[in-house]
Amino acid sequence: MTAAERSVDVLVIGGGQAGLAAGYYLRRAKADFVILDAQEAPGGAWRHFWPSLRLFSPAQYSSLPGRMMPPPPGGGYPSAADTIAYLTDYEQRYQLPIVRPTAVHAVRRGQGRLMVETHRGTWASRTVISATGTWSRPYIPHYPGMGDYRGRQLHTVGYRGPESLAGLRVIVVGGGNSAAQILAELSTVADTTWVSLRPPRLLPDEVDGRALFDLATRRHNAARTGQDAPSIADLGDIVAVPPVRDARERGALKAEPMFARLTPEGVAWSDGTTLAADAIIWCTGFRPALGHLAPLRLRGPDGLIPTDGTRATGESRLHLLGYGDWTGPASATLIGAGRTAKQAVPEIVASLGISSKQ
């Protein structure tokens, strides 16, 4: 293990929305902290999404603590670029101590501290908040014949817009928001087929990000008291943002069941039906980026790190923020990240014996 060159009370790994929300409350608590972010510039995952992506909610329901996201100039739901602009302004406004680009390779147990190894030296910290998100771990399921397919295959992270696929036969795989939003715009310029494991289910039009957050909170609270509460999945999977509604009105949102394998020309179902395709877009999700925590050996059988709230049950100096509902209600969203950080930071500050100003 390398000797630490710098030492802090709290080290946040990741400068996306979850890391910034933590930074806001750490700043208010006057904690000694730093945020290390692997990217060259602000914005987290939003830097990697396609330009036409729209948030699930209007700006006022897509905000981090302290500062409301301004409504986009043209109205409607904010885009990825609007969100990057907001996050850029946010970290400047609160003068968050972000060191970038700094990629964390490993977190290890040291003498009374966690040692955080980066490509630019090692930090020692009394507490670590991991907020590394999911976009860097795109997931594509394995299907027979994938290697033989001669067309183009890309994951959601590689999709940059419909232009390069105009006029082509494109299969969009997946039953979630990414698939629905990509299909909605691609179906206006390409010959699209939507394929998904289960029939995709649109949420009622009135259910946006705020309603999802309220539901996630109710479910989280109910779970703590041993009660039942409706799951978001009971209502549907896909937020009916305006472009998705348009596609629905055009009849473009019909999905086929999942194919069984790929062929050199396209895909084949188990009943022998085939479909030729020039490109396949795998909108099949992401996995939490937890590789840097591997030396701590905390993962459970499901690949996730068990937590009590945000605190790792196997390492009390480690908190996880963002990623998904397992670290807090809707904590992978802008509104949820703020609420989760608001609970986590006082707990961290108390455990360090710093008097919080919150």
Binding site for ligand FAD (CB under 6 A): 13-19, 36-39, 44-46, 53, 55-57, 62, 103-104, 131-133, 135-136, 177-178, 181, 209, 289, 292, 322, 332-334
Cis-peptide into 78, omega within 30 deg: no
- As beta bridge partners, residue 154 has 281
Q: Residue for token digits 């710093």?
A: 354
Closest to ligand FAD by CB, 267 or 321:
321
Minimum distance, C-beta of residue 209 to ligand FAD, in the bound complex (Å): 5
What CA–CA distance (Å, rounded) separates 341 from 29?
12
Give the C-alpha distances (Å, rounded to integers) separating 358 from 31, 157, 314: 11, 38, 28
For ligand FAD, give the closer residue by CB, 79 or 193.
Answer: 79
The nearest distance, CB 272 to ligand FAD, in angstroms, is 34
Nearer residue to ligand FAD within complex by CB, 85 or 289: 289
Q: Pick the closer one to ligand FAD by CB: 151 or 338.
A: 338
Q: Which is nearer to ligand FAD, 130 or 193 (CB)?
A: 130
Separation between Cα atoms, residue 271 and residue 316, nearest integer Å: 52
Q: How far is the CB of 132 from ligand FAD (least distance, A)?
A: 3
Q: How far is the CB of 264 from ligand FAD (least distance, A)?
A: 30
Element (DSSP H or E) covering residue 9: strand 6-13
Using Cβ positions, the residue closest to ligand FAD within the complex turns out to be 16
53 or 267: whose CB is closer to ligand FAD? 53
CB of 335 to ligand FAD, least distance (A): 7
CA–CA distance, 12 with 31 (Å, rounded to integer): 12
Least spacing, CB of residue 35 vs ligand FAD, in Å: 9
Sign of the alpha-carbon dihedral angle for 247, 252, 254, 258:
negative
With 0-12 / 13-18 / 19 or more C-beta atoms within 10 angstroms meaning exposed / middle / buried, residue 217 is middle
